[in-house]
Amino acid sequence: GSSSPTTSINTSGTSTGAGSSTPYTVNFGFINTTATMTGPWGYAYSKGLLQKWLKADGVTLNLSHFANGPLLTAAMIGGSVDLGVLGDTPGLIAKSQGLPAQFVDQPELDLVAWIVAQPPIHSVTQLAGKTVAVQQGSYLDRYLQGLLVQDGLINKVHRVAMLSAESTPAFEAGSLDAILSSPTQWPLLAKTGKRYNVIAKSEITPSLEGTQVTVATNKILAAHPDIASIWNSVRVKSIQYAEANATAYYQWAAVQGNTTAATEEEAAPLSSYPTPNFTAAGISQLQGTLNFLVSQKEATPFSLQAWEVKSS
Amino acid sequence: MSAVSYDYEVVVGKAAEDSERPIAKRIAGGGLSVWRRIWSSRGTRFLGPLILLGVWQLAVSVGHASPLSLPSPSNVFTTGRHLVANGTLISALLVSLRRVGLGLALGVAIGGSLALLSSLSLVGERLIDPVMHMFRTMPVLALLPLFVVWFGIGEKAKVFIVGWAVVFPIYINLYAGVRSVDEKLVTAGKVLGLGRWGLIRHVILPGALPQFLTGLRLALGVSWLVLVAAEEINATSGLGYMITNAQNLSETNVMFVVLIVFSLLGLATDILVRLIERWTLSWRSSFVTK
Amino acid sequence: MSAVSYDYEVVVGKAAEDSERPIAKRIAGGGLSVWRRIWSSRGTRFLGPLILLGVWQLAVSVGHASPLSLPSPSNVFTTGRHLVANGTLISALLVSLRRVGLGLALGVAIGGSLALLSSLSLVGERLIDPVMHMFRTMPVLALLPLFVVWFGIGEKAKVFIVGWAVVFPIYINLYAGVRSVDEKLVTAGKVLGLGRWGLIRHVILPGALPQFLTGLRLALGVSWLVLVAAEEINATSGLGYMITNAQNLSETNVMFVVLIVFSLLGLATDILVRLIERWTLSWRSSFVTK
Amino acid sequence: MALELRDEVATGSEPAVTQPSAPLRALTGDTAYAGDPAGAAGSARAGEPVVKIRGYGRRFGDRVVLEGVDLDLADGEVAALLGASGSGKSTLLRALCGIDHGADGHVTVPKERAVVFQDHRLLPWKKVWRNVLIGVKGSKADALAALQEVGIAGRADAWPGTLSGGESQRVALARAFIRRPRLLLLDEPFGALDALTRLRMHGLLRELCARHNPATLLVTHDVDEAITLADRILVISDGRISLDHRVGDDASARSGTAALALRARLLSELGVNPNHRPHQNHEKR
Amino acid sequence: MALELRDEVATGSEPAVTQPSAPLRALTGDTAYAGDPAGAAGSARAGEPVVKIRGYGRRFGDRVVLEGVDLDLADGEVAALLGASGSGKSTLLRALCGIDHGADGHVTVPKERAVVFQDHRLLPWKKVWRNVLIGVKGSKADALAALQEVGIAGRADAWPGTLSGGESQRVALARAFIRRPRLLLLDEPFGALDALTRLRMHGLLRELCARHNPATLLVTHDVDEAITLADRILVISDGRISLDHRVGDDASARSGTAALALRARLLSELGVNPNHRPHQNHEKR
Ligand SMILES: Nc1ncnc2c1ncn2[C@@H]1O[C@H](COP(=O)(O)OP(=O)(O)OP(=O)(O)O)[C@@H](O)[C@H]1O
Ligand SMILES: Nc1ncnc2c1ncn2[C@@H]1O[C@H](COP(=O)(O)OP(=O)(O)OP(=O)(O)O)[C@@H](O)[C@H]1O
Ligand SMILES: [Mg+2]
Ligand SMILES: [Mg+2]
């Protein structure tokens, strides 16, 4: 696929089908417990740029946020959300269960995951017989399972499902031997003053890293087939804008995540936001995740190619 | 007297039944005694659930709902049969029953004791009641991390979470029940020579029992609700775990199977409480003819 | 008669009070009338919360808990003052109050109507009661995605979720309340010429009112609990949103501030229901001297 | 016949605790005064009895309390009902009220009824004056007038829970007296009253009867009261009406030797040795 | 003195709805029979009154029901208490029971008391025979014997809710009669009984008094009953004991002209024209 150039408002309504020429609203959903959208497009939104760019295409953006993937996909099924960004695992699972939506782009790659363990554990192999908590169905889970399969530990490590809100305090209290963490959570752990070991970082095994996917419902695509390209173009503009203001961007991200600019740069560098809607590296990461989910019987196989939205 | 005419009615006998007709018709949907007799039979309790099933099937057939949000009854049934056959459902049920049972026992014991202390002693009331009202609005979901810190991530934490949630309906209803016991009976008991424990045992508890049972009904319901939250912590089986899992994996069929299991558990707990009521409140039915 | 000696007691007068001493001491913690008088004053209701505060401070001082899991009262207080000063807390409170208020109104209306239908009509009972028991054990957490599918992600969904959770305590308590109305009074009302609505208005509802208010107490509590779940859906403010957010950002101070707001709301709702009780159940206090 | 049919219904319908609750049964039953012109009953023709009881019987489980009771009451007739404690007087009254759904036989009564229950049955959540007005249209002034007549206007704004036994009973009387019933059912309505108040109430009852001419059934344990007030005295024993005596219409029947003879007869019917007069033959201790 | 002090406590302690609930107050109060040897009361010396009432008064809000009542009851004395409805008879009895916490004055009573309440107060959740045994150690056989005496052994296994008015009253009587009280408080205990049963109960009461010799306070509206049963007749009016008459100890005082004279005096004290005899001067309608 490729990103198409933006088009200006066409009031005559003849250039594209299904009446997309009149201004319309797109309900956009993303995963975050705070109401602010993160990432370059979130930054652009906070500056009022994203709205301006979309306005030029006759699109008004209406943001909604969700605590987890299942709620976002439920909102897409119910028609409350037309376009959404979510983690690849919930996205692939929902698609394999029949989510009536298509794959617009892969806005973020290389989601970084760490395994943090209580001393004296200092390597993944030492996790054998230990308890590791991870949020089920998240990219962290995908990384952990992938790594354990790779190291032949999948049946030796006691893997438990917990939300980070509960696993973090449990880990601090010593009930857990290790937890999965994103670098953004690390400063919080460091704040306790205790010493923990980061025993694995996903940067080393990028094939096990998660990605994000943007999906658009069949409904919105039927009504406004150009929405995918419109969104892609403003996404690219956002990334370019953020790159041009990198320091300010990381600063902004740090405030949103209650972290530091350095942490944000490590966890989600601007380089992990590709401008093309589909990249070979990204698709191969996604395919890896899908294969993994299929092997775990959590998803049924399907063709990513066929899922990609057919740009108008 | 002049021949004024008055309305008469039959209060005993054949016509007495027919005279019930207009109102019976309005409320009961059928005016004939035959209908009343049919509705009185216990089997009609299954009608509501059946209608529900019908509405569900209809909603699916009309096709307004996507199978992702509302799978068809037959699909859910197949999935259910499969889950029963491979033992997943039964073992999850057993695990959860254990947690709920222990949590209930704990919560009823604590909530009941606190309610008695608070409703029977002035100092108890002053010390306990406001604290209970402060705790009961604290959302379990927000307390989960604290539970984890204090009670770990084992079975204990799960049982305590269920117990915590159960305490409040028991406390509130038993407290209200004790306070509503007819004071005339309490003073009578006292004058008749009952001591503190005698009064509690023979007058106050029996008098508060109906409301306690209402509390128990609610507690049974609540315990299944918080089970889902409790089983978000380090669970590898259980109904709550199953449903969260199904949700994460978008397995709507499984989710509905578990929801149906929950609803059947609701029916079962209701029947259980009805049995307890029939057994302990039989004196109430004796008022039937007065 | 031979000079058998019997025990006497003073039942009215100075000594009558002193004779209360042994038992008062055992239960009330202080045997002197002075103590009873002190405990009777309404101000002592704040003692429980104060003790709680003390225990909290102690736990922090002893230092068993990490500041991440249990911040100190003073820290929380500072954070609270800050959140009040910058308006965050107040606006969150107002937003949540609106949701809870609307949800309560909806839930009370629906739960109340269903309870009346079910407790007053045979057919209603057969059709409604089992279905209510089936629904009430279905965990709200698991139903959230269905709510989102059916009611969207706006205010409506949040209000409906609160309403849904409120329906059940209201239903259960009002149903039990109606069924516990003294049948002698119902037949008396009927014989005195009250029609269906007259009976409901003058006999059944007032008779069921105490239990309804117990249900309302529980409903008020439950509404704050589910608010947290409801505000997981696309909320940009509100207390539930604030607490989830704080949890995810590990802002334990903020979390505790919101928990304290919840507990104060619990106290406030209790006082509210007490006022309603004092106003509507004043006839009960008249039994005081009988 | 009718008896068998009822039996079937009585056993078929209400199985113990589960079903229909008190309020439910009351609501699905009929309502006095509710006006059901097309109902099963008709209108009175002059001279016909206003209360017709045929083959009435009542059993609780195995215990037969009343059986095969036949009784007619004419317009304006005041009948006193005597009988041992537990003989079924209140049971019969409940049937006449229309609130007993388990009886056998056939009973027709006028729709306009007023009742004083043995246990008063004031609604505890309604102030005294509102209790008087239950089920009738009237102002507080009407209620106060009725309460004035029974001598407790001063407690009009009290909660029923604070009344003395006699005061509650008088509120119940006021509640009956404010109506214009065709049938007045009084279950030991003066039992908790002192001598003076009782005489006043007798006067009131007479007045009410004179004004509205209802058929009246008065349950009492006081033989003298029955003789003073009633046109007709019924005694229940062994589940049937064992004595049905019409008191003569002239005043002489209620005084002097005629009254004493009647008194003796009634007492002996109730099992008391009629020679046993109060303040006579007991030596104390 | 004591009066002022009580007042202070009475107003200071119990503010309306919020505080202490019924069960709570009962529990934190004292308990009859509970045995408090170190308590404020002592033991009886022979010849001293067993009940001492001094300056007793009771007001409800502004309404003074009783004021400045002084009364002693001796061991074995049977006192009848007459008075208009609402005059405060039950109120006085409640104080003697020890369940009225708002009274003024000073009242001492023996710890062993038995009471029949005007409204019976059977516990609806206990079968009849268990109701009889509340607060006493005894077997079902004991309960049955007591129920036999009041003539309702046949209903021993019934729920109180199914009893007739007179039956409940007799259960309450059985409950009192099974005890060995030093003070027997009876609030209109025979009001709902028919003539025959009432006579039987009179006999039982006499027997009980002969056996245990308790001081007895019997509230009744029946002047004849008072004359037959009591050693002493008290009339309450206008908030005080307006008449305190000792009935002579010989049988003649309870029969013949002496009784009639006493009857007339009591009735006139109660406000009834003593010439007004039943079955005499009312012409009907
Ligand atoms: N629901 C019931 N179940 C069983 N027995 C009952 C029930 N109701 C009444 N009875 C019995 O029926 C008998 C008649 O009761 P009823 O109340 O009619 O007596 P009564 O003549 O009014 O007596 P009293 O003069 O004592 O009021 C009594 O023995 C009573 O115990
Ligand atoms: N809690 C209360 N509040 C207000 N007034 C009360 C209360 N309890 C009793 N009274 C009033 O006190 C008066 C005396 O009541 P009490 O019950 O002692 O009367 P009584 O002499 O027993 O009358 P009866 O013969 O009718 O039983 C009555 O007027 C009653 O209304
Ligand atoms: Mg009766
Ligand atoms: Mg009295």
How far, in whole angstroms, is CA C6 from its chain's centroid?
49
Q: How far apart are CA E208 and CA E179, in angstroms?
A: 10
Count of CB atoms situated within 10 Å of the CB of E233: 25
In this structure, are residues C22 and C31 in contact, taking their beta carbons and an 8 Å threshold?
yes
Model confidence at B66: pLDDT above 90? no
**Which among E169, E181, E93 has a CA at the least distance from the CA of E135?**
E181
Q: How far apart are CA A217 and CA A190, in angstroms?
A: 41
| Residue E282 DSSP symbol | P
Q: What pLDDT does C64 receive?
A: 62
More confident site: B24 or C269 = C269
**Which among C204, C208, C207, C182 has a CA at the least distance from the CA of C194?**
C204
| Residue A203 DSSP symbol | G
Closest C-alpha residue for ligand 2 atom 17: D164
Say yes or no for a CB contact (<8 Å) between C241 and A35: yes
Closest-lying ligand to the alpha carbon of E81?
2
Cα E276 to Cα A232, D151, D258, E6, E222: the distances in Å are: 109, 20, 18, 44, 15
Q: How far apart are CA B257 and CA B270, in angstroms?
A: 20
pLDDT digits 0-9 by tens, A79-136: 889 999 998 888 998 898 888 899 999 998 888 899 999 988 989 999 999 999 998 8
**Which among C95, C43, C8, C77 has a CA at the least distance from the CA of C254?**
C77
Q: How far apart are CA A143 and CA D17, in angstroms?
A: 59
Q: How confident is the model at residue B71 (pLDDT cuts 50, 70, 90)?
A: confident
- Residue E107 φ then ψ, to 5°: -135, 130
More confident site: E28 or B7 = B7
What mean pLDDT is predicted for residues C68-73?
Answer: 79
Model confidence at E36: pLDDT above 70? no
- Which of these ranges, A179-193, B57-71, E52-66, E271-285, has the smallest mean pLDDT? E271-285
Interhelix angle C155-179/C88-120, nearest 10 degrees: 40
Helix boundaries (H) for chain D: 2-13, 22-28, 89-97, 128-133, 140-149, 165-177, 195-212, 223-229, 256-269
Q: What pLDDT does E204 receive?
A: 93
Closest-lying ligand to the alpha carbon of D163?
2
- Nearest CB to D44 within list B6, B18, B36: B6
Which chain D residues are closer than 8 Å to B33 by Cβ? 9
Q: How far apart are CA B46 and CA B271, in angstroms?
A: 13
In this structure, are residues C239 and C96 in contact, taking their beta carbons and an 8 Å threshold?
yes
**Which among E215, E243, E218 has a CA at the least distance from the CA of E81?**
E218
- For residue E112, give the 3-state DSSP assignment: coil
Q: How far apart are CA A78 and CA B87, in angstroms?
A: 33
Tell me which residue has tokens 């950002």.
C249
Cis peptide before A183 (omega within 30 of 0): no
pLDDT digits 0-9 by tens, E213-267: 999 999 999 999 999 999 999 999 999 999 999 987 777 778 788 888 999 999 9
B4 in the Ramachandran plot: left (φ > 0), alpha (ψ -120 to 50) or beta?
beta
What mean pLDDT is predicted for residues E158-180?
Answer: 93
pLDDT digits 0-9 by tens, E57-90: 999 988 999 999 999 999 999 999 999 999 999 9
**Which among E67, E115, E79, E62 has a CA at the least distance from the CA of E241?**
E67
pLDDT digits 0-9 by tens, D41-56: 444 455 688 999 999 9
Say yes or no for a CB contact (<8 Å) between E32 and B192: yes
**Which among D254, D218, D234, D261 has a CA at the least distance from the CA of D90?**
D218
| Residue E16 DSSP symbol | T
Q: How far apart are CA E173 and CA E181, in angstroms?
A: 13
- Which of these ranges, A181-195, B160-174, C125-139, C171-185, has the smallest mean pLDDT? A181-195
Q: How far apart are CA E57 and CA E217, in angstroms?
A: 18
Which chain C residues are closer than 8 Å to B214 by Cβ? 172-173, 176, 211, 214
- Nearest CB to C149 within list A65, A66, A74: A74
pLDDT digits 0-9 by tens, E94-137: 999 988 888 889 999 998 899 999 999 999 999 999 999 999 99
Q: What pLDDT does B76 receive?
A: 93
Complex-level ipTM? 0.85
Closest C-alpha residue for ligand 2 atom 9: D162
In this structure, are residues A220 and A114 in contact, taking their beta carbons and an 8 Å threshold?
no
pLDDT digits 0-9 by tens, B3-58: 344 577 777 776 555 444 333 333 333 344 677 677 777 777 788 888 889 988 88
Say yes or no for a CB contact (<8 Å) between D96 and B11: yes
Q: How far apart are CA A13 and CA C109, in angstroms?
A: 48
Tell me which residue has tokens 């059928």.
B30
- Largest alpha-carbon pair distance within chain A? 69
Helix boundaries (H) for B41-154: 47-62, 73-85, 88-120, 122-136, 140-151
Q: What pLDDT does E274 receive?
A: 64
In this structure, are residues B67 and A98 in contact, taking their beta carbons and an 8 Å threshold?
yes
Q: Which amino acid is at E53?
A: I
Q: How far apart are CA A292 and CA A87, in angstroms?
A: 15
Q: How far apart are CA E25 and CA A43, in angstroms?
A: 66
Q: How far apart are CA A305 and CA C237, in angstroms?
A: 40
pLDDT digits 0-9 by tens, D103-157: 889 999 998 899 999 999 999 999 999 999 999 999 999 999 999 999 999 999 9
| Residue E238 DSSP symbol | T
- Nearest CB to E118 within list D165, D170, D284: D165
More confident site: C197 or E37 = C197
Q: How far is the CA of D220 from the centre of ligand 2 (A)?
A: 24
**Which among D117, D126, D115, D118 has a CA at the least distance from the CA of D161?**
D126
Residues 6+ positions from B16 with CB-CB distance below 8 Å = B9, B10, D30, D40, D98, D101, D107
For B:217-256, CB contacts with C below 8 A are: 217-218, 220-221, 224-225, 227-229, 240, 243-244, 247, 255
| Closest atom of ligand 1 relative to the E158 alpha carbon | 4
**Which among E58, B221, A243 has a CA at the least distance from the CA of C139?**
B221
Counting DSSP H helices and E strands in chain D, the numbers are 9, 9
Q: What pLDDT does B128 receive?
A: 93
In this structure, are residues A281 and A109 in contact, taking their beta carbons and an 8 Å threshold?
yes
**Residues β-bridged to residue E82:** E235
**Residues β-bridged to residue D108:** B10, D52
**Residues β-bridged to residue A24:** A59
Q: What is the mean pLDDT of chain E?
A: 81
Determine the straight-line distance between the first and last CA of chain A, rounded to whole angstroms.
11
Residues 6+ positions from A193 with CB-CB distance below 8 Å = none
What mean pLDDT is predicted for residues A170-179?
Answer: 87
Q: What pLDDT does B248 receive?
A: 81
In B, minimum Cα distance to C241 occurs at B142
Q: What pLDDT does D150 receive?
A: 93
pLDDT digits 0-9 by tens, B192-219: 989 889 999 999 999 999 999 999 999 9
In chain B, the percentage of residues whose pLDDT exceeds 70 is 87
Q: What pLDDT does B18 receive?
A: 45
In E, minimum Cα distance to D236 occurs at E194
Residues with CB under 5 A from ligand 3 (ion): D 90, 118; E 164-165
Cα C149 to Cα B66, D47, D89, E255: the distances in Å are: 10, 73, 64, 91
**Which among A192, A172, A179, A194 has a CA at the least distance from the CA of A127?**
A179
Q: Strands, E, within chain A: which ranges?
A: 24-31, 59-66, 83-87, 101-105, 114-117, 131-134, 158-161, 178-181, 197-201, 212-217
Structure token digits, residue B173: 């209803």
What mean pLDDT is predicted for residues E28-55?
Answer: 55
Q: How far apart are CA D106 and CA D54, in angstroms?
A: 5
For B:60-99, CB contacts with A below 8 A are: 66-69
